[in-house]
Amino acid sequence: MPIQVYSFYIFDRHTECVYSKLWHQPHQQQQQPPLPSSTHTTTAPTSTTTTITTTANTTNGPHHGRHHPVRSAKDQASDDAKLIFGTVFSLRNMVRKLGGEDDAFIAYRTQHYKLHYYETPTNLRFALLTEPAALSMRNVLHQIYINLWVEYVVKNPLAPVEHKGGEGVRNEMFEMGLDKFIRGLM
Amino acid sequence: MEKLRLGVLALIVINKAGGLIYNRTFGEGLNQLNTNDYLVLAGTFHGVHAITARLNPFKGQQYQQHTLSSTGETILSRPEPPSGLEVMESENFRLQCFNTLTGIKFLLFTDTMQANVDVAMRKVYDLYSDYVMKNPFYQLEMPVRCETFDRKLNSYIREINNSR
């Protein structure tokens, strides 16, 4: 059963986000209704709006008539990673408090998405955002850990022990393997 | 000794400011916390709930949603409000959260296999409306101390837990 995967994050034991990847494009500037004060005209959507064109200026182009200050997609992604970490950290602690030390937080779901969580004994944390109807993806995260993280990051003789700023994680083998694996689910 | 985790384990009600207004455990499924821990838990959950609503991957799109009407033209529809955490799963229990339109959160802790939690939640909300909101001495946003509510809730939960 194909499922929609939105994004994937890895946090190291120092709570830093060492890897993140998005599989869907957030469309923030394209589909906004033109504000009355705005002099810009947004391009009229073609026939149906289910076809959404994503252009390169999403990342650092001018923002059309929005009130929020200019923020790059990269900042946005890093903010999201921090929020996700805060969420899973709090929920994990809550679960441990209520369910005992051996309990583990698995997933949570909202109306729009589902977040799957997996933590290794070394406090490496994996978080995967999918569509809300997805079944448990714990084994998927476990597979990513064994087959990709251990194989291509841990066993890489050139990778540092600590992955500060994602160093050593962003290697070609890991990225390709991950992309292929996730696209196989979709 | 393995604890028996069956049926509905606990109910927590959080007011719109994140304060704990009601908590009750049924059976031995969850660790017993002291009052202070419950207050912290309620506050933490309130914050987490707000963040999970913001993390929506389609938040950029929600300002405008188009639907194709029968005549073939696009019409603007009112976007769905972002929803926060609804269900959380752990190895030992499941947490269902129901956020009322007035911002009160009902957290129902059940074992992982419990079915029809939605129905139970609905019933709990009914009991709250009937025996807490209609109690003339109840002050809004304040801790719930209504004997009838306690009694009705207890008997309803016992009914669910015994039917398994």
From CA B141, how far away is CA A15, in angstroms rounded?
36
Count of CB atoms situated within 10 Å of the CB of B50: 14
- Are residues A33 and B63, on separate chains, in Cβ contact within 8 Å? yes
Both tokens of residue B82? 């972002």
Domain containing B38 equals: 8-54+74-162
Q: Is A181 on the interface with B (CB under 8 A)?
A: no
Residue A72 per-residue DSSP state: -
Task: Give the mean pLDDT of A27-34.
Answer: 46
For residues A53 and A142, which has the higher predicted lDDT (pLDDT)?
A142
Q: What is the pTM of this model?
A: 0.80
> Which amino acid, one-letter code, is at B13?
V
CATH of the domain at B94: 3.30.450.70
Task: Give the mean pLDDT of A166-175.
Answer: 88
How far does B37 lie from chain A, in Å, by closest CA? 9
Both tokens of residue B50? 């707000």
Domain-located, residue B68:
no
**Confidence check: pLDDT of A154 > 60:** yes
For residues B15 and B81, which has the higher predicted lDDT (pLDDT)?
B15
Domain-located, residue B64:
no
Query: Quick one: pLDDT band at residue A47, thresholds 50, 70, 90?
Result: very low
Query: Taking a contact as any Cβ pair under 8 Å apart, which residues of chain B between 94 and 123 contact chain A?
Result: 109
Average model confidence (pLDDT) for chain B? 87
pLDDT score at A94:
94
**Confidence check: pLDDT of B83 > 50:** yes
pLDDT score at B27:
82
Tell me the CA distances in angstroms from A91 to A64, A86, B8, one per residue in order.
Answer: 37, 9, 20
Q: Is B53 on the interface with A (CB under 8 A)?
A: yes
The arrangement of strands across the sheet holding B8-14 comes to A17-22, A5-11, A125-130, A114-119, A105-109, B87-90, B94-99, B105-110, B8-14, B20-25
- Are residues B63 and A7, on separate chains, in Cβ contact within 8 Å? no
Domain-located, residue B46:
yes
Tell me how many domains chain B contains: 1
Both tokens of residue A83? 């929020």
CB pairs under 8 A between A and B: 118
Domain-located, residue B61:
no
- Which of A26, A27, A10 has the alpha carbon at shortest distance from A18? A10
Q: Best residue in B88, B111, B112 to probe A by mutation, most A CBs within 10 Å?
A: B88
Residue B55 per-residue DSSP state: T
ipTM, interface predicted TM-score of the complex: 0.85
Task: Provide the CB-side half-sphere exposure for B109 (13 A, CA).
Answer: 23
Q: Is A34 on the interface with B (CB under 8 A)?
A: no
Residue of B52, B89, B109 lying closest to A106 (CB–CB): B89
Domain-located, residue B69:
no
Residues A140, A142, A145: CA angle, nearest 5 degrees: 115
β-strand partners of A125: A11, A119
For A166-170, the CB contacts below 8 A with 24+ separation are: A166/A17, A166/A18, A166/A19, A169/A10, A169/A18, A169/A19, A170/A19
For B35-43, the CB contacts below 8 A with 24+ separation are: B37/A97, B38/B12, B41/A94, B41/A97, B41/A98, B41/B12, B42/B12, B42/B14, B42/B18, B43/B18, B43/B19
From CA A58, how far away is CA A30, in angstroms rounded?
8
**Confidence check: pLDDT of A44 > 50:** no
